[in-house]
């Protein structure tokens, strides 16, 4: 199997991002977004997905984390799409239900090429590591739409925002690892192709 890798750069008036992704890695990371909590969550996601990820983001964090996390999501999603390529041989669908202390999150995804996000975060406190919780919805929306993922993320229960997001990021990593695994020939679709 060819090495599934991608490199992405993105520069705007709000962020400057460079990213290198290897899907079939060992969980090695070098992540610096300027947001410590995001670095921690992305490190967890990368480790549980089995990726190697190098990511540098210089963003307008003096405003808040929104632009940086949204743009990191766009770059990560684009890298995933590039690295997956034709989708031949992949399992396509993955899911994981991950507990973290009192919290648990269910993640289901399909690398279908048809982007969709269902994100049920009603139990997540309004603030996560000092930022509004919606920055994480924007992050996962950006990943899903750029990568062409049908992504369902349900925060089932919990009280601690850190624990809830940690279970979600681990769950995303595990579900993606399952969906991206190569286990057959051809494309897993009765249509004979994936968008």
**Taking residues 47-76, what's their average pLDDT?**
96
Q: Name which residue leads in pLDDT, 187 or 165.
A: 165
Which pLDDT does position 153 carry in this prediction?
98
**Mean pLDDT over all residues of the chain?**
94
- Sign of the dihedral through C-alpha 47, 117, 147, 8: negative
pLDDT digits (tens, 9 = 90+) for 132-180: 999 999 999 999 999 999 999 999 999 999 999 999 999 999 999 999 9
Q: Which of 70, 67, 57 is nearest to 9 (CA)?
A: 57
Residue ranges of the domains in the chain? 5-180
Q: Is the pLDDT of residue 122 over 90?
A: yes
Which pLDDT does position 192 carry in this prediction?
59
Contacts of 28 (CB under 8 A, 6+ apart): 46, 52, 53
Is the CATH number of domain 5-180 3.30.230.40? yes
Which pLDDT does position 2 carry in this prediction?
76
**Taking residues 35-64, what's their average pLDDT?**
96
> In whole angstroms, what is the distance from residue 114 CA to residue 69 CA?
22
Residue 161's region, left for phi above 0, alpha for psi from -120 to 50, else beta, is alpha
């Amino acid at each position: 199997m060819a090495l599934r890798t991608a490199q992405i750069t993105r520069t705007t008036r709000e962020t400057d991002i460079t990213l290198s992704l290897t899907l079939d890695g060992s969980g090695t990371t070098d992540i610096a977004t300027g947001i410590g909590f995001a670095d921690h969550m992305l490190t967890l996601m990368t480790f549980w997905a089995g990726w190697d990820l190098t990511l540098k983001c210089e963003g307008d964090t003096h405003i808040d984390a929104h632009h940086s996390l949204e743009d990191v999501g766009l770059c990560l999603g684009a890298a995933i799409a590039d690295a997956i390529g034709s989708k031949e041989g992949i399992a396509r669908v993955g899911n994981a239900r991950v507990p973290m202390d009192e919290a648990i999150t269910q993640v289901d995804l399909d690398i279908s090429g048809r982007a969709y996000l269902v994100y049920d975060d009603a139990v997540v406190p309004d603030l996560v590591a000092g930022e509004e919780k919606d920055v994480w919805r924007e992050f996962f929306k950006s990943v899903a739409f750029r990568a062409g993922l049908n992504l369902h993320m349900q925060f089932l229960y919990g009280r601690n925002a850190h624990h809830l997001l940690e279970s979600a990021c681990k769950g995303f990593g595990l579900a993606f690892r399952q969906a991206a695994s190569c286990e057959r020939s051809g494309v897993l679709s009765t249509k004979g192709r994936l968008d």
